[in-house]
Amino acid sequence: MASLTASQTFADNAATQTATINTTSENVTSGASTSQTLTVSYDVTSKSYTITTQGRTQTFAPANLTSTTNGIAIYSITNGTTTDRLTLESASVTGYNSSYPQYSGLGYWQRTFTSGTTDDISVDFFIYGLASTAAEVPTTGQAAYATSVYGLVTLPGSEARFFQGTGRADVDFLDGVFTTSATASETGIQSQSNFGSGVTISGSGTLSSGTNAFSGSITYKGLNSKSTGTLNGEFYGPAAQELGGSFATTGADGSSASGVIWGAQNSTLTPINLTLTNIVVDQVFTAHGAELAVATGGSASASLAAGTVELNPTGTTTVTPAGIAATALTSANATTSSNTNFNAFTVGSGASAVTVDMYRQGKANTELALTYMNFASWQGPASGGGTTTAWQVYGVGTDPGVIAARTGSATYTGVAYGTAWNGASQASVNGTASLSVNFDMGGYSGNFGLKSAATNYGTFNVSGTITAGTANTGSLTGTMAGSGTIAPAFFGPTGQEFGGPFQISIPASSTTIVGAVAAKGG
């Protein structure tokens, strides 16, 4: 983009914010955001840019250029009561240095129609440039992009506000997922007053297989508004060195926002883990657990408590149930599991031995290939005598804002594993799970079965609620006997996986069961 030598048309996604503004009060009376296609046509002879979208078009020539301050080109055209203003940030316009995006540019076109004390405005935000081909987008590895965000947010009864900030986007090309986050400040469109920083913008989604595109959901948390919506974008450059996307959001408070995210790969950014199948940096995950404590005399108690699981790119794993010392696992501790879908480890020997069984991650598991969540069981001596068994569920959690923005329903299928104690002996239990989530009603339901080699404990019905995108602890009711609780969570960029630890009491047979449910679908 630093030296456009031929005429060219760029077709891109764009987000449009419209608003009606009372110029006396400077407040918005109505506003809306939409996602649209937009074309940028560059004419090399006249060195002009023509912007076309939604039946509107305008050509901006060098004679209309009013400013290039700080590397930003601003064009302005006034025709009667209508003013068109184009802002471009692009190497082709102002010659950015090599640290800025070279294959893409950012722009926004503002049209203002004035009638008395009313301004009707439309602002189109877009990224344009030399898009990567599908073959140029990597299919392995991970990259971090330093990003800028620009846009406009409106809320009836308040002044429309431009927002601007910086952040990052992380892309896992192997698993085809991304996340993005940024902080920004808001400035009044009429008063030019700086309302301050504290704005957060976060999103996540997936890459479109076989293309250069990506899409997902995004949440805008402004200084006086909150809205959610969709993000659509693509990669730019011969090796996907840059990315850009536009987003449009709406809120229950009547607010709406439109904007763009624009960035280039930056090797100084510390990578983050987007999946459990591709651990790129050491990370300690919160592990929601269910613990079974069996005293020396045989009495048992169960509880839900959070521990941690630490994963390292070298393959080392450290499991730390609540209130229990950490257990580090390496290949030297590996043993053979009776279930080929688990990796087994033994640390120590004799009465002090600790055994850990970890569900196999990803495609190595022939039963359920989990990408974003996993579970493990820890069993060892209790500090006061007896034994403790802890089932730990952990993973890359979903942003609650993403879940809160989802509509409709989703189904998840998976497995349930656990440990049962009947007052005299312990047994492994397992079964299948089927769960449903109603995002509109804010609830989840379903069931899972459990049985050991000797006993069928039947099916347990699941019921719970979701508040502000977070699943609350739910109830379990046995169709044969027993009841309990489950503490599920969503995992993955958009909640592709769902599950958590559970505890069950069956008084009639003096049985206590703890375990984990994991399911995928979404």
Q: Is 1 domain-assigned? A: no
463 and 361 within one domain: yes
In a domain, 337, yes or no: yes
CA 490: distance to chain centroid? 11
Same-domain status, 108 and 233? yes
Element (H, E) at 94: helix 91-94
Q: Are residues 116 and 173 in the same domain?
A: yes
Helix, strand, coil percentages, rounded to 5, for the chain: 5, 60, 30
Counted domains in the chain: 2
pLDDT above 70 (res 16): yes
- The verdict on residue 288 lying in a domain is yes
Q: What angle do CA 496, 250, 466 make, to 5 degrees?
A: 40
Residue 210 lies in a domain: yes
Tell me what percent of the residues of the chain surpass a pLDDT of 90: 89
User: Residue 297 corresponds to which tokens in the numbers above?
Assistant: 């005399």
The answer to whether 180 and 261 have CB atoms below 8 angstroms apart is yes
Same domain, 349 and 311: yes
The whole-model pTM stands at 0.84
Helices (H), 290-426: 400-405
Residue 1 has pLDDT above 80, yes or no: no
Task: Say if CB 341 and CB 357 are below 8 A apart.
Answer: no
In this structure, what DSSP letter does residue 314 have?
A: T
Kindly list the distances between the CA atom of residue 195 and the CA atoms of 23, 186, 257, in Å, as whole numbers in the listed order. Answer: 18, 5, 16
Q: Which of 320, 304, 307, 309 is closest to 472 using CA atoms? A: 304
Residues 288, 251 share a domain:
no
In this predicted structure, the answer to whether residue 147 has a pLDDT above a threshold of 60 is yes
Query: CATH code at 463?
Result: 2.40.160.90
pLDDT on residue 155: 98
Kindly state whether residue 382 falls inside one of the protein's structural domains: yes
Is the CB of residue 73 less than 8 Å from the CB of residue 67?
A: yes
Domain identity same for 257 and 287: no
Is residue 3 in some structural domain?
no
Same domain flag for 117 and 68 = yes
Structure tokens at 133: 């081909």
Domain C-terminal end among 214, 231, 265: 265
Confidence band (pLDDT; 50, 70, 90) for 202? very high
List alpha helices for 133-273, DSSP H.
Answer: none
Q: What is the per-residue DSSP string for 71-93?
A: G-EEEEEEETTEEEEEEEE-HHH
Token code pair at residue 502: 């559970």
DSSP letters spanning 402-464: HHHH--SEEEEEEEEEEEEE-SS-EEEEEEEEEEEEETTTTEEEEEEEEE-SS-EEEEEEEEE
> What is the pLDDT at residue 132?
97
The Cα diameter of the chain in Å comes to 91
Last residue of a domain, one of 196, 231, 265: 265
Q: 152: how many CB neighbours lie within 10 A of its CB? A: 27
Mark which of 235, 265, 295 sits at the end of a domain: 265
Q: Which domain holds residue 253?
A: 8-265
In a domain, 317, yes or no: yes
Residue 281 pLDDT level (bands cut at 50, 70, 90): very high
Inter-residue contact 216 to 35 (CB < 8 Å): no
**Whether residues 228 and 308 fall in one domain:** no
- The answer to whether residues 427 and 502 belong to one domain is yes
pLDDT digits 0-9 by tens, 384-426: 788 999 999 999 999 898 898 888 999 999 999 999 999 999 9
Joined together, the tokens standing for residue 189 give 């469109």
363 and 244, same structural domain?
no
Burial of 208: CB neighbours in 10 Å, binned 0-12, 13-18, 19+: middle
Same domain, 294 and 221: no
- Region 183-212: mean pLDDT is 94
Residues 343 and 387 both lie in one domain: yes
Range scoring the smallest mean pLDDT among 2-6, 254-258, 280-284: 2-6
Residue 2 lies in a domain: no
